[in-house]
Amino acid sequence: MSEDRFPGWHGTTIIGVRRGGKVVVAGDGQVSLGQTVIKGTARKVRRLSPGGRDVVVGFAGSTADAFTLLERLEKKLDAAPGQLTRACVELAKDWRTDKYLQKLEAMLIVTDGKTLLVVTGAGDVLEPEHDIAAIGSGGNFALAAARGLMETDLSAEDVARKAMAIAADICVYTNGNLTVETIGG
């Protein structure tokens, strides 16, 4: 996020883990302004059901901006039923080229239980390696922890929960109040 436009705002941590035919998306609940925790129980992971098909989305960044993107993503999913990657690419194209959308400050992790993607305002639609995606201020901490935990026999949900706990212990903008959604399998 641009510190000029949003001074003192800090994000969150969202992780997606694919394992054993399931994908788990977990996000913390902390919203901070500078050194102050404004809210500790925000829900930053949502289940969408466009056309009766479940999609789970986690977002980091501005909440209002993320909700705008979620609405746009639902429309793209309705226009391309069952084609998550195509819908995300269309959203990323709009996000990159539309003057209104270009100002939005958020990132998304999106999954339909098979595909796991990170969508950014730079026009990126990335399928992460190692079946793990992480975004937000504590994303790199959660990603590193999850990569190590994938060498164990833990379930996708256990990997996500433990990685988020490690991120919360390190990143002051991440807490342990999790929203967890599982899809697939």
> What pLDDT tens digit does each residue of the chain (185 aa) get?
444 444 444 578 999 999 999 999 999 999 888 888 989 999 999 999 877 789 999 999 888 888 888 999 999 999 999 999 999 999 999 888 887 777 778 889 999 999 999 998 788 999 999 999 999 999 999 999 999 999 999 999 999 999 999 999 999 999 999 999 999 86
Residue 134 lies in a domain: yes
pLDDT number for residue 10: 53
Q: CATH number, domain at 161? A: 3.60.20.10
Residue 144 lies in a domain: yes
Pick from 106, 127, 142: nearest CA to 15: 142
Residue 34 lies in a domain: yes
Residue 41 lies in a domain: yes
Q: Which pTM does this prediction carry?
A: 0.91
DSSP codes, 49-104: -GGG--EEEEEEE-HHHHHHHHHHHHHHHHHSTT-HHHHHHHHHHHHHH-TTGGG-
Residue 88 lies in a domain: yes
Residue 1 lies in a domain: no
Domain boundaries, position 108: 9-184
Q: Which of 12, 13, 174, 182 is catalytic?
A: 12
Residue 132 lies in a domain: yes
pLDDT number for residue 100: 75
Residue 152 known to be catalytic:
no
Structural domains in the chain (count): 1
Residue 2 lies in a domain: no
pLDDT number for residue 74: 93
